[in-house]
């Protein structure tokens, strides 16, 4: 068997290079010090697998030279510099290393918590740089008996919470996409009421960056917090609205903030740097020797497994070539993932099971449909940590049952896919099909027949079927300056109706509260694709 070639495009820890060079089936080329033009024209054409970091963009120029590459390993979490769609079109698997820096990020979060509580950086600078000994200027606060709100209870958030317990803090977790027992089994409080988080003495956020989480702490949320709250963000830039954060720090509403990540980086001239009640670091979440070693080891091992065709750990795209699928299959996979994502946004609760039912020829691809549905459902909760390769493993780890069914086609459509998502609180079914020219449509939600294009900002309004409801809904949206771009209505035989209203613009809590207050309303939810 001829050796497979792995090209290392950027610097990784020596332990990863040793693992690659020590495998007798691998020819390792370390091109980290080569000029980028040489890397692209001389070495990338030789590669079966490439290992990259932030210094190498996997863009059109890269891919044009990647004649033999079947996989790319991004040695780290972020894949902003990787053209995943371009890779998918060429049948190239993209993998990242999402958990190697977990402990580093956890401990940095604790460092910011302690620094904010004791104002450590300012006391340090006052003594070391200014040579001033003034103990009376640096009264801090203790973590003991303080209430810590943890937003997002995944790998990092859960570990922050358990370590905070060691400081004898009162910890409460908010994560609508986990089973509450994941927190309560660790003797940590769990809430689905976000107001309980806003009432905490200290808040730390550990969510992926999604449409739902971007700016989830803004001016309104800060206004409802305790006076003198401490906020921490070592997760993703933009989860706190930075203007609102700045205003809260200036007013004293927020006593201190510990920030490792910014909306735009590098943030060397950010106005937060001018304040004396902020501790800041330049995105150091993964910057420990141990995490860099772990990243290099995991990236090298993933590259070896991909080169040998053993597996594709942490793949972020589908590990098959598009030309291996019949033309009609891809849009069904897409709409199935969209329906899964919609289901998670509508239900907003811990998932118990996902059932995928296929009718027609598309049933031959039930396994792939189930995978795409699972990715769609779980993306809302865990972001880029879910992918097409690990979807079923992650579901199993979370105790989610995946059920697949192919049934005779009596639907009236040539092909139809239905997903049923069961949570701890409810059950939701969504069915869809694809018409000629790849026109995707949702044709059923629960027992309501509809014709909905799965895109944009959508309000789902379930109500008693009485006169004037549509007008009331329209008035509320108009008063909130939301233009209706599409309105679809489904009715049943029991006197109930479901409207799916697509609007131009983001829907906030105020709009949803006003719709909920309508006498005819049964429930309201909002989703965005």
Residue-wise pLDDT tens digits, 192-203: 999 999 999 999
* Number of separate domains in the chain: 3
Decide if 249 is inside a domain: yes
Looking at residues 475-494, what average pLDDT do you find? 93
Same domain for 482 and 390, yes or no, is yes
Same domain for 121 and 225, yes or no, is yes
CA distance 159 to 285: 14
Same domain for 21 and 162, yes or no, is no
- For 437, which DSSP code? G
Of 272, 307, 342, the residue that ends a domain is: 307
CA distance 134 to 125: 12
Same domain for 511 and 384, yes or no, is yes
CA distance 237 to 283: 9
pLDDT tens per residue across span 140-183 = 999 999 999 999 998 899 999 999 999 999 999 999 888 899 99
Decide if 383 is inside a domain: yes
Name, in order, each residue with C-beta under 8 angstroms of 492's C-beta and a sequence gap of 6 or more.
447, 448
Same domain for 361 and 504, yes or no, is yes
- pLDDT on residue 385: 66
Residue 283: active-site member: yes
CATH of residue 396:
3.30.1330.90
Same domain for 113 and 42, yes or no, is no
pLDDT-based confidence at 4, cuts 50/70/90?
A: very high
Same domain for 85 and 113, yes or no, is no
Whether the Cβ atoms of residue 518 and residue 469 lie closer than 8 Å to each other: yes
Decide if 317 is inside a domain: no
Q: Nearest-CA neighbor of 448 among 434, 461, 435, 466?
A: 461
Report the SS3 class of residue 263: coil
Count other C-beta atoms under 10 Å from residue 107's C-beta. Answer: 18
Whether the link from the prior residue into 525 is cis, omega within 30° of 0, is no
Helical H segments across 348-488, by residue range: 366-382, 391-397, 469-479
Which residue out of 60, 195, 265, 322 is catalytically annotated?
Answer: 265
Same domain for 244 and 297, yes or no, is no
Same domain for 253 and 340, yes or no, is no
Q: How many CA atoms lie within 13 A of 324 on its CB side?
A: 10
- pLDDT on residue 398: 87
CATH of residue 107:
3.40.50.720
- pLDDT on residue 319: 57
Least confident among 78-87, 345-354, 384-393, 519-528: 384-393
Percent of the chain with pLDDT over 90: 77
Domain, as residue range, for 443: 327-528
* pLDDT reading at 313 higher than 90: no
- pLDDT on residue 384: 62
Which residue out of 112, 236, 341, 462 is catalytically annotated?
Answer: 236
Same domain for 499 and 382, yes or no, is yes
Decide if 321 is inside a domain: no
pLDDT tens per residue across span 229-285 = 999 999 999 999 999 999 999 999 999 999 999 999 899 999 999 999 999 999 999
Looking at residues 80-97, what average pLDDT do you find? 86
Percent of the chain with pLDDT over 70: 98
Tokens of 388: 């097409």
Residue 265: active-site member: yes
Count other C-beta atoms under 10 Å from residue 132's C-beta. Answer: 11
* pLDDT reading at 115 higher than 90: yes
Decide if 447 is inside a domain: yes
Q: What end-to-end distance do the CA atoms of the chain give, in Å? A: 46
How far CA 310 is from CA of 19, 23, 284, 313, in Å, comes to 17, 14, 33, 10
Looking at residues 512-521, what average pLDDT do you find? 95
Same domain for 517 and 428, yes or no, is yes
* pLDDT reading at 386 higher than 80: no
Looking at residues 293-301, what average pLDDT do you find? 96
* pLDDT reading at 387 higher than 80: no
Which residue out of 42, 90, 118, 283 is catalytically annotated?
Answer: 283
Q: Would you say the C-alpha torsion 288, 289, 290, 291 has a positive or negative sign?
A: positive
Q: Which run of H or E residues covers position 211? A: none
Helical H segments across 119-235, by residue range: 120-128, 155-166, 181-184, 194-198, 219-223
- pLDDT on residue 88: 79
Count other C-beta atoms under 10 Å from residue 457's C-beta. Answer: 18
Residue linked to tokens 């409810």: 426
Same domain for 301 and 412, yes or no, is no
- pLDDT on residue 379: 85
Q: What is the mean pLDDT of the chain?
A: 92
Decide if 294 is inside a domain: yes
pTM: 0.75
């Amino acid at each position: 068997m001829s050796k497979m070639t792995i090209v290392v495009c950027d610097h990784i820890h020596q332990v990863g290079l040793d693992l690659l060079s020590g495998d007798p089936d691998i020819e390792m080329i370390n091109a980290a010090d080569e000029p980028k033009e040489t890397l692209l024209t001389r070495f990338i054409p030789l590669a079966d697998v490439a290992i990259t970091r932030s210094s190498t963009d996997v863009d059109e120029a890269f891919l044009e030279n990647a004649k033999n590459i079947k996989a790319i390993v991004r040695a780290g979490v972020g894949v902003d510099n990787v053209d995943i769609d371009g890779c998918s079109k060429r049948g190239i698997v993209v993998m990242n290393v999402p958990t190697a820096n977990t402990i580093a990020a956890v401990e940095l979060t604790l460092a910011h918590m302690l620094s904010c509580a004791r104002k450590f950086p300012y006391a340090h600078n006052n003594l070391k740089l200014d040579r001033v000994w003034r103990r009376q200027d640096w009264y801090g606060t203790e973590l003991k008996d303080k209430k810590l709100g943890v937003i997002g209870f995944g790998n990092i958030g859960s570990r922050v919470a358990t370590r905070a317990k060691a400081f004898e803090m009162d910890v409460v977790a908010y994560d609508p996409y986990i089973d509450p027992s994941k927190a309560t089994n660790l003797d940590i409080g769990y809430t689905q009421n976000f107001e309980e988080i806003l009432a905490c003495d200290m808040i730390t956020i550990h969510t992926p960056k999604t449409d739902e989480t971007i700016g989830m702490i803004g001016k309104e949320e800060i206004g409802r917090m305790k006076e003198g709250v401490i906020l921490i963000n070592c997760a993703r830039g933009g989860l706190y609205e930075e203007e609102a954060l700045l205003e809260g720090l200036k007013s004293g509403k927020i006593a201190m903030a510990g920030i490792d990540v910014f909306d735009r980086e590098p943030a060397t001239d950010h106005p937060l740097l001018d304040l004396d009640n902020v501790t800041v670091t330049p995105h150091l979440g993964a910057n420990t020797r141990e995490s860099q070693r772990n990243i290099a080891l995991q990236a090298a091992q993933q590259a070896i497994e991909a080169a040998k065709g053993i597996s594709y750990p942490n793949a972020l795209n589908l590990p098959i070539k598009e030309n291996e699928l019949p033309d009609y299959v891809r849009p069904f996979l897409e709409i199935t993932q969209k329906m899964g994502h919609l289901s998670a946004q509508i239900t907003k609760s811990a998932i118990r099971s996902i059932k995928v039912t296929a009718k027609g020829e598309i049933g031959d691809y039930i396994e792939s449909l189930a995978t795409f549905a699972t990715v769609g459902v779980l993306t809302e909760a865990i972001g880029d940590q879910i992918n097409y390769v690990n979807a079923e493993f992650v579901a199993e780890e979370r105790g989610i049952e995946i059920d697949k069914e192919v049934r005779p086609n009596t639907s009236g459509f040539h092909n139809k896919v239905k997903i049923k998502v069961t949570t701890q609180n409810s059950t939701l079914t969504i069915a869809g099909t694809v018409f000629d020219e790849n026109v995707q449509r949702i044709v059923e939600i629960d027992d309501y027949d509809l014709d909905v294009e799965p895109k944009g900002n959508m309000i789902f309004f379930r109500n008693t079927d009485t006169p004037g409801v549509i007008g009331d809904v329209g008035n509320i949206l108009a008063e909130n300056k939301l233009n209706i771009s599409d309105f679809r209505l489904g009715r049943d035989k029991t006197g109930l109706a479901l409207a799916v209203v697509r609007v131009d613009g983001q829907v906030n809590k105020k709009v949803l509260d006003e719709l909920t207050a309508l006498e005819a309303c049964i429930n309201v939810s909002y989703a965005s694709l």
